[in-house]
A and B are shown apart, each in its own frame.
Chain A
Amino acid sequence: MKFQKILSLGVLSAAMIAGTASADVRDIRIGVDVPYEPMEYRTPDGELTGFDIDLGNALCAEIGIQCEWVVQGWDGIIPGLQARKYDAIMSSMTINEQRREQVLFSDPYITPPSAWFAPADSEIVTPDAESLDGKSIGVQRGTLQDNYVTDMYGDVADVNRYATADDMVLDMDAGRLDIAFLDFPIGKSTLIDSEAGDYKTVGEKISEPVEYFGEGFGIAFRQRDGELAEAFNEALSTLKANGTYDEIEAKYFSE
């Protein structure tokens, strides 16, 4: 009896010591916008999965905290962070100056380009203002692709803004869109791979100018959560060094 009590006290204090090891970094909630295959999406039985989810869970495990994922629509994802609905955003968010005024970013954890996608029989060869004149372009509302397309082609083309990438793909299939502008891995996964032969990329992959396309995807935190961001940065470099990062990358971006 007494022995058990001592044992449980021991376990308890061990747990407390383990807890204090990362005392300043508490368990957090992470906001994510789904579906955005292959970065974050649900399996048919409703499980959250994807590159961001796996990497995020691995980072949390490395830091030694519990992370809970909160699903939030993209167009309200930064205000949701500021309203404390969650403590971080890990949802394919590109680091750029405009966002940096609102949030604190981790180091970039992946740097994918954007690209134009069109039906395989599309006549558009080079996506410039001349050939996109009068065409309907699909983008996801509030993304950097939206900003880029709005500023570059908003005056000549018909920009259709969708709440989710899925709605956009549906309208692409329906023939309502002439061309769509997406993060390259997402377009590859949702259009090219899943509808074999129906779609192609048009022109080069785009990651310039930096003022639009930023410096890669980062995890976003509230400005004052510098310690939390630091903990994630450390964990990220550990995972890159020990090969975990490469494993996760290979799982989702195998050619």
Chain B
Amino acid sequence: MDALMNWLETQLADNSIFTLQTLSYYGDGLVTTVQLVFLSLIIGLVLAVPLAIGRGSKHAWVRLPIFFYCYVFRGTPLLVQLYLIYYGVVFVEGIQETWLWVILEKPFVPALIAFTLNTGAYTTEIFRGAIKSTPRGEIEAARAYGMSWALMMRRIVLPSAFRRALPAYGNEVIFMLHASAIASVVTLMDLTGAARFVYARFYAPFDAFLFVAAIYLCLTFTIIYVFRRLENRLLAHLKPAGG
């Protein structure tokens, strides 16, 4: 590691912008971005599965609140949601004295809440569509076997819905990565925050943002690669024979 650092230092010797210090900002930014996006996607996914099932419920009191949630979070910009959750809560009378403030005080958790609720709403809609488009034949076959609703959901509907939802969900993951670029408005030093810091400090927009764009590209390609592998495995039966 020391050898690597020494090598880096000599490489960067005659360069005023990409010093070890600014690179460490980018490094910290990368960690923050990945943490934020990864955690919000996981929690959002866990949230979305029951919500997607409930979204298709025949009971209005289950269906309507979920519909409302999706409608609001898909209908407003993530930036606005982030502002409301970080700066807006301050105006709630007396919130500083409650346990909630411990959670909301630092910027990471409010950002995580905003991102999670946002991706949760989109993922719910993606899964709802996939569940709704389950071929009727599969459902009828499950019924003919005498499966209960829960068993049918678990064995037939959800697995096939997941497969159908995969390509659309892959896009959502990439959108989430790109959307996370707004985290620095609540003082988080994510990748974009690091780029803005370097930009403002060295007045070098091209160096700062081209470098961060390259990092985002690498992340995006990694996500695409992972989803391509997943699709190859899970959707193998849909490929043309011999293809």
Contacts and interface: CB of A to CB of B under 8 A. Distances in A.
Interface of A: 74-76, 78-79, 82, 99, 102, 141-142, 146-147, 160-163, 167, 170-171, 173-176
Nearest to B89: A174
A contacts with B: majority SS = helix
Contact of A147 (B90, B189, B193, B201): B201
Contact of A79 (B187, B197, B201, B203): B203
B contacts with A: majority SS = helix
A141 B205 CA distance: 15
**Considering the complex of A and B, which 8 residue pairs feature the smallest CB-CB distances, nearest first?**
A142-B200, A75-B200, A174-B90, A160-B187, A78-B203, A79-B205, A102-B203, A141-B200
Contacts of B185: 163, 167
Interface of B: 87, 90, 96, 101, 105-107, 184-185, 187, 189, 193, 196-197, 199-201, 203, 205
Contacts, number: 49
A76 B187 contact: no
Contacts of A141: 196-197, 200
Given A76-B199, A161-B197, A175-B101, 18 more contacts: A74-B200, A75-B196, A75-B199, A76-B205, A79-B203, A82-B203, A99-B203, A141-B200, A142-B196, A142-B200, A160-B107, A161-B189, A161-B193, A162-B187, A167-B87, A170-B90, A174-B90, A175-B96
22 contacts: A74-B200, A76-B199, A76-B200, A78-B203, A79-B205, A102-B203, A141-B196, A141-B197, A141-B200, A142-B196, A146-B200, A160-B187, A161-B184, A161-B189, A161-B193, A162-B187, A163-B185, A167-B185, A171-B90, A173-B90, A174-B90, A174-B96
A54 to B, nearest CB: 27
A170 B205 contact: no
Contacts of A176: 105-106
Contacts of A167: 87, 185
Contacts of B193: 161
A147 B96 CA distance: 31
A146 B198 CA distance: 12
A9 to B, nearest CB: 49
Contacts of B196: 75, 141-142
